[in-house]
Amino acid sequence: MVLSILAGGESYGYEILNKVRLLSGGELEWSDGMLYPVLHRLERDGLIAGRWELTEAGRRRKYYRLTVRGKRRLATDRESWRAVYGALELSWGSSRV
């Protein structure tokens, strides 16, 4: 989910949480504090890269972007999810009959 959001461009923790909420129509509500360890693990794995910026309000903020490795992983994950989703759709369709 995080990789998919970052594929749309650079973002920071708070904004990512808002996007998750928005994209899921409020169905997915991540706890604020849970996101950062996930971001740090992805950064350590080289899937995303972070950089510190000074905001207009003079605050320090860490922005994350997708790395080449992250893009590759996202493409693989997307294929896997599509396969799972397709299989589930078929399964639910047949069980309805």
Partner 1 sequence: MAPSSCRGEAVVFELETGITSWRRRLEGRSSLSPRELDELEDHLRARVDLELELNPALAPHRALLVARERLGASTALAKEFTKAGRPRWRYLLLAGWAMYGASLLLPVAGPAALQTVYAEVPWSAPAHHWPQQALADGWILPLIPNLAMAMTLPALLCSWRSRARWLTWTIGAFGVSALGFGVANLLDRSAVAIAGEIAVYPYLGLGYWTWSGAHVLVAAALLLRSREWTSARSRTRRARNA
Measured CA to CA, the distance from residue 50 to residue 94 in angstroms comes to 45
Task: Considering the complex, state which of residue 52 and residue 92 has its C-beta at the smaller distance from partner 1.
Answer: 52
Pull the structure tokens for residue 71: 């893009």
Pull the structure tokens for residue 27: 């169905």
Q: How far is the CB of 67 from partner 1 (least distance, A)?
A: 17
Regarding 22 and contact with partner 1 (CB under 8 A), the answer is no
Cα 53 to Cα 19, 48, 68: the distances in Å are 20, 16, 21
- Grouping H, G, I as helix, E, B as strand and the rest as coil, residue 7 is coil
Regarding 96 and contact with partner 1 (CB under 8 A), the answer is no
Q: What is the DSSP letter of 2?
A: H
Regarding 26 and contact with partner 1 (CB under 8 A), the answer is no
Q: How far is the CB of 89 from partner 1 (least distance, A)?
A: 33
Task: Considering the complex, state which of residue 32 and residue 79 has its C-beta at the smaller distance from partner 1.
Answer: 32
Q: Which residues bind partner 1 (CB under 8 A)?
A: 12-14, 31-34, 36-38, 40-41, 44, 52, 54, 59-62
